[in-house]
């Protein structure tokens, strides 16, 4: 069941899913949320700074593979980190394998996962919940900041690459994955599982948001992602456990920083600040 032909099809699908998730989380059409987000970035210094910090760490992760090639780490820790797990994933995969399930899991792994991240920012913005917005930005930042050194210095290969009896089912839904998507996801960047850590992080943060339906959905999403990383033949059990631990740390710190930032950081409206400076300047001139 081929669902995605190229990165363009992933992008289009993600835009549609983001719009649907925002409507689900807010009950309003997504353009209102998009306008509120852009307005918040333009009006609030703190809002902009937290977003920039999160965006910068995403860029770091995007360029992690270049840094990895430059470092040329010579060892492979797959046997030490995950060799004890045996062949349970091949049994698990065979028990559930079907075209419909493969398409479902691949869609969640490739499209819904990143769409939930984007929609979370929009939903917290719509409700003007700065605490959750700050918490989400910090938690996401920590996920990447902590995971990248492991990707660089603790290389663990994906399950399908290690065990010939485990199929890489992603190729059934996205045949050009290795040529189109692999540059964003290193073959030996398994430990910890970022799909696990970020999906669980989003669920933990959402649990404190007061938006019940969004919290329920993010937990269901996290469960599907964890199932998918095994079913598709990508991650090991140890990767998942490390991902959950990372999520707990990131979400805990993020929520604490969010609470502190909401109550302690003095926010500044850029337009009002500029207007005040212009007014003061004119007063001095007169």
Instruction: Summarize pLDDT for 65-96 with one digit per residue, the tens.
Output: 777 888 888 899 999 988 888 889 999 999 99
CB atoms under 10 Å from CB of 32, counted, come to: 14
pLDDT value, residue 207: 97
pLDDT band per the 50, 70, 90 thresholds, residue 275: low
3-state SS, one letter per residue, for 10-45: HHHHHHHHHHHHHHHHHCCCHHHHHHHHHHHHHHEH
> DSSP secondary structure string, 82-118?
HGGGTTHHHHHHHHH--HHHHHHHHHIIIIIHHHHHH
Judge whether residue 281 has pLDDT over 60.
no
pLDDT value, residue 195: 96
Q: State the chain's mean pLDDT as an integer.
A: 90
- Tokens, residue 87: 């062949």
Instruction: Report the distance separating Cα 52 and Cα 67, nearest Å.
Output: 22
Mean pLDDT of all residues in 19-35: 94
Judge whether residue 274 has pLDDT over 60.
no
pLDDT digits (tens, 9 = 90+) for 171-186: 999 999 998 888 778 8
Three-class DSSP category at 124: helix
Instruction: Report the distance separating Cα 279 and Cα 138, nearest Å.
Output: 36
pLDDT digits (tens, 9 = 90+) for 107-134: 999 999 999 999 999 999 999 999 999 9
Domains of the chain, residue spans: 7-263
pLDDT digits (tens, 9 = 90+) for 40-60: 988 888 888 888 888 887 777
Nearest to 107 by CA among 63, 169, 200: 169
Counting residues of the chain whose pLDDT is more than 70, the rounded percentage is 92
- Read off the pTM: 0.91
């Amino acid at each position: 069941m081929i669902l995605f032909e190229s990165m363009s099809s992933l992008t289009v699908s993600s835009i549609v899913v983001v719009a649907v998730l925002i409507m689900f989380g807010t009950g309003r059409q997504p353009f209102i949320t998009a306008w509120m987000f852009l307005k918040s970035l333009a009006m609030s210094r703190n809002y902009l700074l937290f977003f920039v910090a999160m965006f910068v760490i995403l860029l770091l992760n995007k360029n992690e593979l270049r840094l990895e090639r430059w470092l040329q780490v010579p060892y492979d820790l797959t046997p030490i980190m995950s060799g004890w797990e045996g062949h349970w994933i091949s049994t698990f995969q065979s028990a559930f394998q079907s075209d419909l399930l493969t398409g479902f899991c691949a869609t969640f792994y490739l499209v819904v996962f990143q769409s939930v991240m984007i929609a979370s920012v929009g939903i917290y913005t719509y409700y003007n919940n700065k605490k959750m917005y700050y918490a989400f930005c910090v938690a996401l930042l920590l996920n990447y900041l902590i995971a990248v050194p492991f990707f660089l210095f603790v290389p663990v290969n994906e399950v399908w690459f290690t065990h010939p009896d485990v199929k890489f089912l992603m190729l059934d839904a996205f045949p050009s994955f290795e040529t189109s998507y692999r540059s964003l996801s290193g073959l030996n960047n398994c430990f910890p599982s970022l799909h696990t850590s970020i999906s669980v992080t989003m669920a933990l943060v959402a649990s404190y948001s007061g938006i019940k339906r969004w919290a329920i959905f993010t937990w269901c999403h996290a469960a599907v992602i964890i199932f998918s990383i095994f079913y598709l033949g990508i991650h090991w059990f140890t990767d998942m456990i490390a991902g959950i631990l990372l999520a707990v740390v990131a979400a805990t710190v993020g929520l604490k920083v969010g609470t502190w930032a909401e109550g302690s950081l003095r926010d500044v409206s850029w337009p009002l600040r500029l207007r005040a400076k212009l007014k003061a300047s004119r007063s001095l001139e007169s």
